[in-house]
Structure 1
């Protein structure tokens, strides 16, 4: 009999769950056609928005006229309107001198609207109400005259929001707390305003770019933002903590509370306070006045059912969270960079000597307690001679930048939290987040035994002296005979390869305009020219120039990595993996030339213009025998076999085929330069200086700020959990 109520409650709970699911299904089904159907009344909605805007007499919105359609397939009939299959997808009204009122409520009837950009106009007044546009991915309002306090719930319920750019306005008051609840936030720029108070705890895992500089913020920077570069907080004199390095003052100790006088009572002794009395009464099943409440006399079946239902739903939620956590743990390998007594090594099977070295460093004086402390004590008792001998065996961390100083030690690196960024062909790459909050990238090489220790260290010092805005500087290195670590600053925007081609399921490649591509080409060419001037003694000053070795900083300026490593790489390993060793002269004559890097530059130019990854190795013999099986990634053959008059229609990346005619002419010129750099005959191939001179004279019709050149990457599909540039 005791089990009967339990089984009855279980059956009742199952029925309630089924009813809830049945009640939810029709609502979801009703919402599906809304997201798939074309926008209804898009013209009316946009004309209503236009009615509050003053275009300054420039006629910027002259094409927005009644009786016409905003979209024409994927093209647009109205200026500044972004379309996708006859559906309004975004608005890009930038630098047009617009003012007046932004009535964004008029756009509620555009369910497919994803992007709004009104940057560099003359709009003033309070923050426009964007909350009702819950499907927005990106909001760009920088460079206007907006002012006042933004409501705390301004971004509430915007679960798809990825980018918020409000910089260079006159906003004041606290940063809206609802930004901390936007789960997919990737980029937040609030710099150059008058925001006040403390920074919200922004815990979004994907949030990589934050700029809060030049405001009036105060207090300690949240731990979730300690990996952000310090200059992103500059100009806030009252901020403290990592990564600024300014210590936060400890709050004053509270004064001892005066002892409360014992409560009086009509009866002898003391009586509990009213809240305590109520709690005691409830626990005994009586109210504060002594009466037994009706609810306590007999538990109602309905309340028990709701309790069981809550327990079941809670259990399901816990299981769901556990599954998500397990998936993320599989996706990200985030552990301690250096082994400790309680954490396994970062790599599945690291060499035993490396493991022992890390354990020794963790057990050095000042490293910690517990097992490590005991080992530390035993080693300290061994004397200084033994310690020095062990230090020689474990290697050392050497900084090579005179302008950086020594801002961490080897034991800090070994204790850092590390995330595997990838296993490149030259070695494994990690992001190590130090306890100070600063992040560095550590590349582990095992094929660098070509030269001895002295020659290796001399070459690293030579690299440390290099300084160019388009080179990622070497910060430090760690030398051991078995392996070497090269340490650089962490760059959050990933690589040019990721920008052009996307990465992994659900990540869509960005829409990159001509101006942005030309800027990247010029930066790469300038950095390569600098390497040729500074390392003229090397036959191949770079050696591994490819899109995955070009990182992008916060302004999407290119930063070359893995340069000048040929002198210290094992030749067999370099010949197998490094791009310069794939050049035609290397394959024909077994040696590289001063123009091997030029060949790599030519392939990179073709990759940037076509949007296709290149094939550095020749096609297989079987495939080469069949003309139909031509490798579409053999860019030199594809471009060379296409008449020049057809390049813009068949070779150039489709994302750029809507560019201005002036830009298209420049594209053709750059393709010619790329082909001249890829000549198989070394004598016919252009010199680097000729290529750079040709690149420098190229220009692009201004599209506005550099940021504009990239932001349209938020044109993502609802079906994919894709990510804009980050």
Structure 2
């Protein structure tokens, strides 16, 4: 995803934003707006890419007042606009004036009234629309259903009524119309959606819900015995039909439920993430009663305070299972009148003392970097622990590289992600100078992306509190050659994982054998790399999209340097990060020769000797 902008300047945008802020109330969270010493891109809630403004993320700030679309029109570019979990009310503003908008997030406010049928007309670039948990009424606007690029639509928790319109798109990543007042038959084009997408709409029928009942047939006058017999036959037949339908519905429900449960538990071969693009079965977060003893406290908030909910609120929250991996289950929890958070259950920290666990979690909570997924809170139980993190809207890097619902990542997006990963890893190295594995579990499913595709590292800094035997079996930091051969991690083991991630991002290929459980998995990297050389190492999705061929080759060499089998020859983290920072989206000079070599998709095996020994 490439964001470019020339005019107006950042200074012009700054004045427009200040004008926008002046129309808001309760805007104390935006007090640093106008601070020239830190620059516009460091203002709270401002999204920039390469020092170019592209969006607003004003979430969880208690904001009220007037959202002036006319003022927003004066910005150089506005790709994303989010005011999730604030206190805005009244009709939905005329966002259709913002024709370049790609993402609109209005969930968890007090917007109300009908949305005009043409409210989204002309917004041909809009991909994401989140209007959940407001007070909207009337029909779902037809113009929303006609958006050509719509991928995510979440309207749950409103009072939309009438029939569901025919949506032009078919392959949604997020689709949720639950808990409204919709009625009638579900369009056939939506019959393959999760039934929970339509739950709480008593008037809806048709696949994937129960079949719609046909109008009862007319029967002869009951005055004749023949008519009476026919009427009785009709009633009997109708009863049998209803019984069959009910039985079929129950069987279908059980089959769907079984498949979903299977999906959650057996999909370990596919990389799971802290936030997956697709969601699974909705349920509540379950903590065993044995773990909740009287000496266990409630939620312990760390870092920036996020009040407003307690442990019981979290356990009662509507939750979606995002994954079930080697450490435990991961949930996306939607708190009542609260934020969306991700909850990770850990069952392999049982030998960690309470004091040690508290101290380490508070240390993690003090970490602050734009490329780390912030830890919000934790819960300590004897049998299991909970870690609560912010929610990243765009799921994991793995889901985009390998999943069916991910978006195409061009070279600029992949370079942006690798740079962010490198910066986050460098920060961890600086904060944990005495740790051999400051991250310990760096892989594509533990890199999550926010709504502007900014990467955030997840599941970092946990080596100290995870059972050693379990860590050695499952954490990818222990797959490096030095651990496999000498059972000793080094300062360069996380760099090894960075190298694997770079190769995965460039090739679009998932290193399944490398990530298998147990020791010796790193030895399969040679075969993986050789297959890349043999079959073409560059992901077809980024071929011919820009003039960055030479820069891609440079990144490949950096990945190779990070994957050196020999510790002496393997790059250190400072060298790797410095080289990554030098990379550009386009080649600085003539890239014809190197580009031709790049596109030949047959780099010499000698180029890979150092990592395929």
Superposition TM-score, scaled by structure 2 size: 0.55
Q: Distance in 1 between matches of 2:145 and 2:228?
A: 38
2:412 aligned with 1:515: yes
Select 1:187's aligned residue among 144, 149, 152: 152
RMSD between superposed Cα atoms in Å? 4.9
Select 1:700's aligned residue among 576, 582, 585: 585
Select 1:563's aligned residue among 460, 467, 470: 460
Select 2:540's aligned residue among 641, 651, 654: 654
Q: Distance in 2 between matches of 1:520 and 1:623?
A: 26
Query: Which structure has the greater CA radius of gyration?
Result: 1
> After superposition, what is the alpha-carbon deviation per residue over 1:152-210, rounded to whole angstroms, capped at 9, x for unaligned?
39999xxxx9975699xxxxx988434788999741499xxxxxxx8847999997769
Q: For residues 200 and 182 of structure 1, do their structure 2 counterparts lie closer, same or farther at Cα, with a shift above 3 Å needed? A: farther
SS in 2 for 1:554: coil
Q: Tell me the CA shift for residue 552 of structure 1.
A: 1.7
Q: Which residue of 2 aligns with 1:616?
A: 514
Q: Which residue of 1 aligns with 2:569?
A: 684
Q: For residues 478 and 617 of structure 1, do their structure 2 counterparts lie closer, same or farther at Cα, with a shift above 3 Å needed? A: closer
Q: Which residue of 1 aligns with 2:284?
A: 336
Superposition pairs for residues 316-715 of structure 1, below 5 Å?
A: 321-330=249-258, 331=260, 332-338=280-286, 353-354=290-291, 357=292, 391-392=294-295, 394-401=296-303, 403-436=304-337, 438-502=339-403, 507=404, 510-614=407-511, 615-616=513-514, 634-638=527-531, 650-660=536-546, 662-701=547-586
Q: Tell me the CA shift for residue 565 of structure 1.
A: 0.5
Q: Is the Cα–Cα contact under 8 Å of residues 420 and 455 in structure 2 kept in the other structure?
A: yes
Q: Distance in 1 between matches of 2:396 and 2:317?
A: 24
Q: Tell me the CA shift for residue 320 of structure 1.
A: 5.5
> After superposition, what is the alpha-carbon deviation per residue over 1:537-586, rounded to whole angstroms, capped at 9, x for unaligned?
32211010001111122222212111000111222221111111111122
Q: How many residue pairs get matched?
A: 405
Q: For residues 473 and 617 of structure 1, do their structure 2 counterparts lie closer, same or farther at Cα, with a shift above 3 Å needed? A: closer
Q: Distance in 2 between matches of 1:165 and 1:336?
A: 26
Q: Is the Cα–Cα contact under 8 Å of residues 499 and 510 in structure 1 kept in the other structure?
A: yes
> After superposition, what is the alpha-carbon deviation per residue over 1:614-655, rounded to whole angstroms, capped at 9, x for unaligned?
23269999999xxxxx9688444545x66xxxxxx7111122
Q: Which residue of 2 aligns with 1:368?
A: none
Q: Is the Cα–Cα contact under 8 Å of residues 632 and 638 in structure 1 kept in the other structure?
A: no
Q: For residues 620 and 493 of structure 1, do their structure 2 counterparts lie closer, same or farther at Cα, with a shift above 3 Å needed? A: closer
> After superposition, what is the alpha-carbon deviation per residue over 1:314-335, rounded to whole angstroms, capped at 9, x for unaligned?
6666556545543443315433
2:117 aligned with 1:152: yes
SS in 1 for 2:464: helix
> After superposition, what is the alpha-carbon deviation per residue over 1:348-372, rounded to whole angstroms, capped at 9, x for unaligned?
xx5x623xx3xxxxxxxxxxxxxxx
Q: Is the Cα–Cα contact under 8 Å of residues 474 and 487 in structure 1 kept in the other structure?
A: yes
Q: Distance in 1 between matches of 2:340 and 2:541?
A: 34
> After superposition, what is the alpha-carbon deviation per residue over 1:568-610, rounded to whole angstroms, capped at 9, x for unaligned?
1222221111111111122232211111111100000000111
Superposition TM-score, scaled by structure 1 size: 0.47
Q: Is the Cα–Cα contact under 8 Å of residues 517 and 608 in structure 1 kept in the other structure?
A: yes
Instruction: Name the stretch that deviates more: 427-436 or 523-532.
Output: 427-436
Q: Is the Cα–Cα contact under 8 Å of residues 151 and 174 in structure 2 kept in the other structure?
A: yes
Q: Is the Cα–Cα contact under 8 Å of residues 140 and 166 in structure 1 kept in the other structure?
A: no
Q: Is the Cα–Cα contact under 8 Å of residues 320 and 333 in structure 2 kept in the other structure?
A: yes
Q: Distance in 2 between matches of 1:323 and 1:477?
A: 40
Q: Is the Cα–Cα contact under 8 Å of residues 187 and 210 in structure 1 kept in the other structure?
A: yes
Q: Distance in 2 between matches of 1:472 and 1:186?
A: 24
Q: Distance in 2 between matches of 1:473 and 1:604?
A: 21
SS in 2 for 1:391: coil
Q: Is the Cα–Cα contact under 8 Å of residues 514 and 521 in structure 2 kept in the other structure?
A: no
> After superposition, what is the alpha-carbon deviation per residue over 1:649-669, rounded to whole angstroms, capped at 9, x for unaligned?
711112222333x22221111
> After superposition, what is the alpha-carbon deviation per residue over 1:327-348, rounded to whole angstroms, capped at 9, x for unaligned?
443315433334xxxxxxx7xx
Q: Is the Cα–Cα contact under 8 Å of residues 180 and 200 in structure 1 kept in the other structure?
A: no
Q: Distance in 2 between matches of 1:570 and 1:701?
A: 45
Q: For residues 701 and 543 of structure 1, do their structure 2 counterparts lie closer, same or farther at Cα, with a shift above 3 Å needed? A: same
Q: Distance in 2 between matches of 1:622 and 1:400?
A: 37
Q: Distance in 2 between matches of 1:701 and 1:305?
A: 77
Q: Tell me the CA shift for residue 692 of structure 1.
A: 1.5
Q: Which residue of 2 aligns with 1:215?
A: none
Q: For residues 635 and 189 of structure 1, do their structure 2 counterparts lie closer, same or farther at Cα, with a shift above 3 Å needed? A: same
Q: Distance in 2 between matches of 1:186 and 1:570?
A: 40
2:99 aligned with 1:142: yes
SS in 2 for 1:440: strand
SS in 2 for 1:566: coil
Q: Which residue of 2 aligns with 1:46?
A: none
Q: Is the Cα–Cα contact under 8 Å of residues 348 and 466 in structure 2 kept in the other structure?
A: yes
Q: Is the Cα–Cα contact under 8 Å of residues 129 and 152 in structure 2 kept in the other structure?
A: no
Q: Distance in 1 between matches of 2:363 and 2:408?
A: 38
Q: Distance in 2 between matches of 1:224 and 1:573?
A: 45
Q: Tell me the CA shift for residue 434 of structure 1.
A: 2.7
SS in 2 for 1:670: helix
Structure 2 residue ranges without an equivalent (≥5): 1-75, 78-95, 102-113, 131-136, 182-219, 261-279, 588-613
Q: Distance in 2 between matches of 1:565 and 1:653?
A: 32
Q: Which residue of 1 aligns with 2:216?
A: none
> After superposition, what is the alpha-carbon deviation per residue over 1:663-722, rounded to whole angstroms, capped at 9, x for unaligned?
2221111101000000011111112122122212222259xxxxxxxxxxxxxxxxxxxx
Q: Distance in 1 between matches of 2:396 and 2:482?
A: 28
Structure 1 residue ranges without an equivalent (≥5): 1-119, 122-138, 168-172, 191-197, 212-220, 226-293, 339-345, 358-389, 625-629, 643-648, 703-726
